Amino acid sequence: MKIQEIKPDKIMKVTIKKLNITSPNENVLEIKKRGMELEVRAPDGKHLGDLLLTEEQVIWCKGKTTPPNGKSLSWEKFIKMMQSQ
């Protein structure tokens, strides 16, 4: 899988759409089963997709793709992919 580099002048706009967390203590926020959803937009504001982070996986939903149809990786595979860069 080839990952395209983003130039510094092409910084994405990322916002939190949903945040399902618990706080076992004041220093820790823990993602719950339904996770956290980030909306990713291009510098010009065009919606590129959503990134979901759950306890089990990372899911990329390009455009209007829903999570069941998104591209998912287990945390283990995601970490291996990132470390191989």
Q: What is the pLDDT of residues 1-21, one digit of tens each?
A: 455 565 656 788 999 998 888
Q: Could you tell me if residue 55 is inside a domain?
A: yes
Establish if 1 belongs to a structural domain. no
- In terms of Cα–Cα distance, which of 15, 50, 53 is closest to 35? 53
The span from the CA of 74 to the CA of 26, in Å, is 28
pLDDT of res. 31: 82
Tally of structural domains, the chain:
1
pLDDT score of 61: 96
For the chain, 85 residues long, give each residue's pLDDT as a single digit of tens: 455 565 656 788 999 998 888 888 878 888 888 889 999 999 889 999 999 999 999 999 999 999 999 999 999 999 999 999 8
Q: Is residue 2 part of a domain?
A: no
Bridge partners (DSSP) listed for residue 32: none
Place of tokens 């990372």: 58
pLDDT of residue 6: 56
pTM: 0.79
What domain range is 68 assigned to?
13-83
Alpha helices in 1-85 (DSSP H): 75-83
Domain membership flag for residue 8: no
Give the Cα-Cα-Cα angle 28, 33, 37 (nearest 5 degrees).
Answer: 80
Residue 25 has a pLDDT of 82
Residue 27 in domain: yes
Q: Which is nearest to 51 in space by CA: 39, 68, 66?
A: 39
